[in-house]
Amino acid sequence: MIHVGDITKLHGEDIEPVDVITFGSPCQDLSAAGQRAGLYGEKSSLFLDAVRVISEMRRATNGRYPRYAIWENVPGAFSSNAGSDFRDVLEKLAQIKAPDASVPRPPRNKWPTAGCILGTGWSLAWRVCDAQFWGVPQRRRRIALIADFAGRSASEILFEPKGMCESAATNGTAGQEIACTSRGDTTQDVGPLTMKMRCGHGKGGHGPLFQINKSATLTTRQEQILIQPVAGTLCAGDSAGVSNQYVKQGKCIITPNLQLRRLTPLEYERLQGFPDYWTLIEPSKIGNRRVAGSDCARYKALGNSIALPPWRWILKRVSAFLPTDATLGSLFDGIGGFPLLWEENHPAGSARWASEIEAFSIAVTEQQINKKLPIS
């Protein structure tokens, strides 16, 4: 896999076409914990560059590549700028395939944690996934959004078919597409398409830093504190060493004979689902910069990365709609989470390129992805 550089300088017609483009544009301006500058803030506006690159690639390939775009971000995107930012996300992705598509605000201006839009020959679907329900002891809620530019598979990928989405095409009227249906859904006509919004199961949240069985959401700083018996050693997924304590009315009650300690980089890796020592790299040179694997750099990169288990499930379901030799490109790649997962179900080297500007993240990908999964 090669790094193709800064996304603001990329042009989709100049990079290798791929079947899937993943991107998790910076979330600082959308997060409820940030300044809420919104989608058009300095960081989060890079979403528009991703849309531009995807659109350019599709024009250059007569609409063949990419078939799928996959976006990851914080749930704060739902409420950013009173809901208008997420509407813009949906509308701009829809307009890649249908330039005249218009997406209205949801009922009562509140976006649900799951929904889908079906157009003529294309579809969008989104849901909030919490990593704790995919086997890692961390509460980490993220929006997963799938855009299928060549079919109606987006909702099939993100939702279990039974009970969540069932075809209702026979109930439609001329000139309208019908979205998936489920009890409790709200349907809203959107010109030539229909938008279906459903309250999902967005459990969890940031939570207190003190947890009984699960870590709070990891951040980019070495600030998470865990409680353990003095003689114990904490391993991700093993709650036996965690103290008998609880949080009540904002106060942490701690039993005697315990000590506080910080999470190690290895525990950060495990809580995100990465292989052990994924970010422990040899010193290298990226451009004119010398890069070393300091703990500080590891904490920052892991805090900004994806938690792998939910995305492993999603990418496996995407793969079911594509040939085995399908390819992937990763924008805002971070430390190679999406390429790592992609090549679990596709040949080595099928993750073709990535865009990244952080020197440490590039070094991790070059040393881990390309060493572990060389381009054939």
Helix (H) or strand (E) holding 187: strand 186-190
Q: Given CA atoms 144, 1, 68, 107 in this order, what sign does their dihedral have?
A: positive
Residue that is written with structure tokens 């998936």 in the block: 180
Looking at residue 288, what is its pLDDT? 80
Give pTM, 2 decimals.
Answer: 0.78
Looking at residue 105, what is its pLDDT? 86
Looking at residue 44, what is its pLDDT? 57
Query: Hey, what amino acid is at 311?
Result: W
Looking at residue 265, what is its pLDDT? 94
Q: Could you say which DSSP state residue 166 is in?
A: B
Give 2-204+304-371's CATH code, choosing from 3.90.320, 2.60.40, 3.30.450, 3.40.50: 3.40.50
Cα 266 to the chain's mean position, in Å?
A: 21
- The Cα 361–Cα 334 span in angstroms is 5
Helix (H) or strand (E) holding 73: strand 68-73
253: β partners? 246
Looking at residue 365, what is its pLDDT? 92
Q: SS3 string of 227-287?
A: EEECCCCCECCEHHHCCCCEEECCEEECCCCEEEEECCHHHHHHHHCCCCCCCCCCCEEEC
Question: Could you tell me the mean pLDDT of each successive run of 10 residues in the chain, 376 residues long?
Answer: 92 97 72 56 77 98 98 92 92 96 88 94 96 91 97 94 40 33 39 51 35 56 46 31 38 56 90 95 84 89 94 97 97 95 95 94 91 50
**Which residues contact residue 101 at a Cβ distance below 8 angstroms, ignoring those fewer than 6 apart?**
91, 94, 95, 119, 190, 191, 193
Cα 250 to the chain's mean position, in Å?
A: 30
- Pairing mode, strands 122-130 and 141-148: antiparallel
- The Cα 189–Cα 184 span in angstroms is 17
